Amino acid sequence: MFKNLTPNQIAIYAALSIAGLHTLLCLILSLFGVLNLDTFDLLIVFTSSFLVSYFLSLFFVTNYIYRKIKLIYKIIHSYKIGSKGKSAGSAVSANKRVFEQVEQEVMDWADNQNKAIEDLQSLENYRREFLGNVSHELKTPIFNVQGYLHTLLDGALYDNEINRQYLLRATKNVERLETIVEDLEAISKLESGDLVLDLQKFDIKQLADEVLEDLELQASIKDIRIIFKEGADLPFQIRADREYIRQVLNNLISNSIKYGKVGGATKIGFYDMDKYVLVEIADNGIGISQEHLKHLFDRFYRVDKSRSREAGGSGLGLAIVKHIIEAHNQTINVRSTPGLGSTFGFTLERA
């Protein structure tokens, strides 16, 4: 009954208490003959005492308690909406349960501050990990190039058996450095929202055929067949950025070749999802354990670090793929079983 009262209710209860005590005192004095008051007089005493007490109580609560609470509410509300210059006092009325309202505002504000602190700490940890990963990825090719060049300068340059071999190795590491820098630039553009999509209508199967032609040599080296799934090989017209989707297909199919088993197969399928088309790329390679799946699209994350670096790449491919798909307001997922293979699937808008 007396929980979460409004200022008006506080003033009314205070006035009733004071007026009741005042009237009771006058009644006792009348019974002892000190005062000569009848019922009508006592009613006047109660009414006048109630009115005076009510306005005095309301004035006190409003000016000495409620005003301070309004100030707290105003400050917290201003910080929450991010506009210190705007008054929030009008949002609180003397007829509202202001104490409950302010309590909730304080709790919400505290929760938001804790969440903001946690987010900042998470971002700081992510930044440290990212810088560590970048330095680690750059250090290996730089160290290799440095080693080859120093060896050549120390006399190997004049040894015809190894000078060309070392120069080719140095060139390969420089190309890897270039790939890392280009991918870093690409992912920076994707994450900053500066990516401008050239949306157009095109046949996703035709684009996949073009990507397969580019990767035919890579697949033949490991004797991997790239085929379309039977029953899921129909052409679909989609609306997306053709070159960015080419990059997505190229990355996913190339990965299926890199980590596929010799003599295996990569299967591509297209599925009608009403307004969308689901594209799936499946292999029967080494697979990925469950513990790695949730980090698979993180920057520089490698399931098997030594094998991944031997296969080449910057470690940013899947992160870029995820950003491209999300830039199209679509989703990408992966399911995998160690020893059986992996399946990557993403959706695109149907034209």
Tell me, yes or no, whether 306 lies in a domain. Answer: yes
* Whether residue 225 is found in the same domain as residue 188: no
* Whether residue 50 is found in the same domain as residue 167: no
* Whether residue 178 is found in the same domain as residue 216: no
pTM (predicted TM-score)? 0.56
Of the residues 76, 96, 116, which one is the last residue of a structural domain?
96
In this prediction, residues 150-170 reach a mean pLDDT of 85
**According to the model, what pLDDT value does residue 88 have?**
44
Of the residues 96, 116, 142, which one is the last residue of a structural domain?
96
Q: How many structural domains compose the chain?
A: 3
Cα dihedral 286, 292, 293, 295 in deg (nearest 10): -130
Of the residues 78, 96, 114, which one is the last residue of a structural domain?
96
In this prediction, residues 257-271 reach a mean pLDDT of 91
Tell me, yes or no, whether 104 lies in a domain. Answer: no
* Whether residue 295 is found in the same domain as residue 343: yes
Give the pLDDT confidence of 269-290 residue by residue, as tens digits. 999 998 999 999 999 888 888 8
**By C-alpha distance, which of 52, 48, 61 is closest to 11?**
61
* Whether residue 266 is found in the same domain as residue 307: yes
Q: Which has more pLDDT, 85 or 104? A: 104
* Whether residue 283 is found in the same domain as residue 213: yes
* Whether residue 43 is found in the same domain as residue 179: no
Percentage of the chain surpassing pLDDT 90?
23
* Whether residue 30 is found in the same domain as residue 172: no
* Whether residue 242 is found in the same domain as residue 345: yes
* Whether residue 182 is found in the same domain as residue 206: no
Give the pLDDT confidence of 18-46 residue by residue, as tens digits. 888 988 888 888 888 777 888 888 888 88
Q: Check which CATH number belongs to the domain holding 272 and give it.
A: 3.30.565.10
Tell me, yes or no, whether 19 lies in a domain. Answer: yes
Tell me, yes or no, whether 235 lies in a domain. Answer: yes
Reply yes or no on whether the pLDDT at 127 is more than 90. no
Reply yes or no on whether the pLDDT at 327 is more than 50. yes
Q: Which domain holds residue 171?
A: 127-192
* Whether residue 210 is found in the same domain as residue 330: yes
Tell me, yes or no, whether 106 lies in a domain. Answer: no
Tell me, yes or no, whether 114 lies in a domain. Answer: no
Tell me, yes or no, whether 231 lies in a domain. Answer: yes
Q: Check which CATH number belongs to the domain holding 142 and give it.
A: 1.10.287.130
Tell me, yes or no, whether 2 lies in a domain. Answer: no
* Whether residue 86 is found in the same domain as residue 176: no
**According to the model, what pLDDT value does residue 266 have?**
93
